[in-house]
Structure 1
Amino acid sequence: MTDTVLVTYGTTNGSTAQIAEAVADILRKDGLTVESRPARSVTGVAPYGAVVVGGALYAGRWHKDARRFVRRHRVELAERPVWFFSSGPLDASAAERDIPPVRGVQRTMVRLDVREHVTFGGRLEEGAKGRMAGMILRSGKGGDFRDFGAIEAWAHRIAEALAHT
Structure 2
Amino acid sequence: MRVIVLYASRYGSTKGIAEFIAEKLRQRGVQAEARSVDAAPDPGDYDAVVIGSAVYMGHWMKEAVEFVRRNRTALTGMPVWLFSSGPLELGPEIASIDDPKLEPEEISGFLEAIHPRGHRVFFGALDPGKLGFMHRTLRKLPAARAILPEGDFRDWNNIEAWAESIAHALATQPVAPA
Q: TM-score, normalised by structure 2?
A: 0.85
Percent of aligned pairs with the same residue? Answer: 40
Q: Structure 2: which amino acid aligns with 1:159?
A: A
Runs ≥4 residues deviating over 6 A:
none
1:95 Cα deviation (Å)?
9.4
Q: Is the 8 A contact 1:86 1:119 kept in 2?
A: yes
Q: How does 1:48-63 map to 2 (within 5 A)?
A: 48-63=46-61
- Return closer, same or farther for 1:124/1:134 CA change in 2, 3 Å cut-off: farther
Partner of 1:117: 119
Partner of 1:142: 150
Q: Is the 8 A contact 1:12 1:129 kept in 2?
A: no
Q: What is the DSSP-based 3-state SS (H/G/I as helix, E as strand, rest coil) of the residue aligned with 1:103?
A: coil
CA distance in 2, matches of 1:79, 1:162: 15
CA distance in 2, matches of 1:134, 1:17: 24
CA distance in 2, matches of 1:146, 1:154: 13
Residue correspondences, number: 163
Q: Structure 1: which amino acid aligns with 2:117?
A: R
* Residue 107 of structure 1 pairs with residue 115 of structure 2: no
Partner of 1:20: 18
CA distance in 2, matches of 1:155, 1:17: 15
1:92 Cα deviation (Å)?
4.6
1:53-76 deviations in Å (ceiling 9; x for gaps)? 000001110011211110111100
Larger Rg, first or second structure (1 or 2) = 2
CA distance in 1, matches of 2:138, 2:43: 37
Q: Is the 8 A contact 1:125 1:137 kept in 2?
A: no
Q: Structure 2: which amino acid aligns with 1:97?
A: I
1:81-137 deviations in Å (ceiling 9; x for gaps)? 000000000115699431332221221122111100000001111222251354247
Aligned alpha-carbon RMSD (Å): 1.9
Listed as ranges, the gaps of 5+ residues in structure 1 are none
